């Protein structure tokens, strides 16, 4: 009896715990995020989203008041994911502003290849909507303003001669890199020169400075 009970217990332990299926809301969000990025936000309707999420319109509107609400969540999630990548990339070099910027640009090409084959999702939304959609415009503007603020701050910490100019130049380089990724895909496109270009800009703006 004791042996039989032990075997039964062992068999129970061997079974992996059952994983709950993704919530309908999560399925809708994941399907919409993929479709928005691949096809554009305007081109993707609720019908396409619910089909890709294997659900129906009733479930969609039970979870999202409108497509606009889903679009806003998608864009905010894209912005948050970008800054998670940023923070993780620079975390190793706390107190070393120059090394932090170099680390960002060293990782940039790989990040763009792996996660941004169609460019920056927020920049794409700005192109689609312009200033006609107040909410989209606000989310995109806030995201880009934060990127600019961070780069200018690092440039000041490096004691660059004109930190705002350096920060803006680095932002132009990064933003242009995402666009170049779309126009010239591949492992050896112009985007791969971003890290060297960033170093040249930094050197030009900090020559003679002891801050690193």
* CATH classification at residue 173: 1.10.357
Q: What is the largest CA-CA distance in the chain?
A: 82
In a domain, 140, yes or no: yes
At 19 the pLDDT is 56
Q: Is residue 123 located within the same domain as residue 60?
A: no
At 117 the pLDDT is 83
Range of the domain at 114: 72-207
Q: Is residue 51 located within the same domain as residue 126?
A: no
Average pLDDT per block of 10 residues along the chain, 212 residues long: 44 52 90 97 97 97 96 97 97 97 92 83 91 87 97 97 97 89 70 91 84 52
> What's the total number of domains in the chain?
2
At 3 the pLDDT is 43
At 37 the pLDDT is 96
At 207 the pLDDT is 85
143, 8, 31: which is closest to 86 by C-alpha? 143
Q: Is residue 86 located within the same domain as residue 59?
A: no
At 61 the pLDDT is 97
At 26 the pLDDT is 97
For 181, half-sphere exposure in the C-beta direction (CA atoms, 13 angstrom radius) is 23
pTM of the model: 0.83
In a domain, 58, yes or no: yes
Q: Is residue 135 located within the same domain as residue 158?
A: yes
At 66 the pLDDT is 96
- CA atoms of 93 and 109, how far apart (whole Å): 19
Q: Is residue 89 located within the same domain as residue 147?
A: yes
């Amino acid at each position: 009896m004791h042996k039989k009970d032990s075997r039964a217990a062992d068999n129970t332990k061997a079974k992996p715990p059952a994983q709950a299926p993704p919530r309908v809301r999560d399925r809708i969000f994941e399907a919409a995020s993929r479709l928005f990025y691949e096809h554009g936000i305007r081109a993707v309707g609720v019908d396409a989203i619910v089909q890709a999420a294997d659900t129906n319109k009733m479930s969609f509107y039970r979870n999202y008041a409108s497509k606009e609400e889903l679009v806003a969540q998608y864009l905010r999630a894209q912005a948050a994911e970008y800054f998670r990548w940023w923070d993780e990339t620079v975390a190793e070099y706390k107190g070393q502003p120059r090394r932090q910027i170099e680390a960002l640009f060293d990782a940039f090409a790989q990040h763009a290849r792996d996660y941004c084959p169609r460019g920056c999702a927020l920049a794409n939304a700005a192109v689609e909507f312009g200033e006609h959609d107040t909410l989209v415009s606000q989310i995109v503007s806030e995201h880009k303003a934060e990127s600019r603020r961070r780069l200018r701050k690092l440039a000041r910490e490096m004691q660059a001669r004109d930190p705002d100019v350096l920060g803006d130049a680095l932002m132009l380089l990064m933003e242009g890199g995402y666009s170049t990724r779309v126009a010239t895909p591949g492992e050896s496109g112009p985007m791969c020169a971003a890290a060297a270009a960033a170093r040249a800009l930094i050197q030009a703006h900090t020559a003679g400075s002891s801050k690193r």
